[in-house]
Amino acid sequence: MGPVTATGPKQDRSRATRQRLLEAAIACLAEHGWAGSTVAVVAGRAGVSRGAAQHHFRTREDLFMAAVEYVGDQRSAAVRDLLPTVRQILGPARTHLVVEELVGLYTGPLFRAALHLWIAASDEEPLRTRVRELEARTGREVHRMALDLLGADEAQPGVRETVQGLLDMARGLGLANLLTDDRARRERVVSQWAGILDGVLRRPG
């Protein structure tokens, strides 16, 4: 017999409710910002009673931290799943695909939601400390994933900072997409810098 875990219809329903709340929280935050995103608004959007929402998340901060973490992990996992595919692609085409996917992590509703949370957290303890820790952890994971996807060797001098700068650029591109649909310009920047990056990663030193 394996370990006893909570399964069955009741637990499934509870897990589904939790997921609906987390996804509704991201959509709310992306659309209405921090000030407009209360537990009541999220519960309403998820079609869940406010009591049920508070059963899952004790505070508003708990709900939004969990939402950014959950949706972020999901999105990262989807990009990480590309690894077997990109390993079969050679040279510049691999780098281009990987840069495109990494930049894609920062240009959707999740990044928009995360940005609202960062800004709200930037002058509000203890949210600031919690968001900073989550960001540090997420940043390390995306960095490691980027190395794997690019097939880059961090033992080579400069590779670490090269990949960090790439991820900073990805976040900057996400920011530029906040007020306008920046897709066309972004694609040109991604093509150009994927080419540059490919040259750098092949000619280390």
What is the binding site for a copy of itself (CB under 8 A)? 31-33, 35-36, 112, 115-116, 118-123, 128, 131-132, 135-136, 158, 161-162, 164-165, 167-176, 178-180, 185, 188-189, 191-193, 195-196, 200
Residue closer to a copy of itself (CB basis): 67 or 173 = 173
CB–CB of 64/24 below 8 Å?
no
Q: Say how far apart CA 53 and CA 46 lie, in whole Å.
A: 9
HSE, side-chain direction, 13 A CA sphere, residue 28? 24
In whole angstroms, how close is the CB of 129 to a copy of itself at the nearest point? 9
H helix intervals, the chain = 9-32, 39-46, 50-56, 60-80, 83-86, 92-104, 109-121, 127-150, 159-176, 183-202
- Give min distance, CB of 202 to a copy of itself, in A: 13
Choose between 42 and 48: whose C-beta lies nearer to a copy of itself.
42
Q: Kindly tell me which of 55 and 157 has the beta carbon lying closer to a copy of itself.
A: 157
- CA-nearest of 73, 63, 16 to 42 is 63
CB of 105 to a copy of itself, least distance (A): 12
Q: To the nearest whole angstrom, how small is the minimum distance from the Cβ of residue 176 to a copy of itself?
A: 6
Is residue 22 within 8 A of residue 71, CB to CB? The reply is yes
Residue 8 C-beta: closest distance to a copy of itself, Å: 41
Three-state SS at 9: helix
What is the distance between the alpha carbons of residues 53 and 18, in angstroms, rounded to a whole number? 8
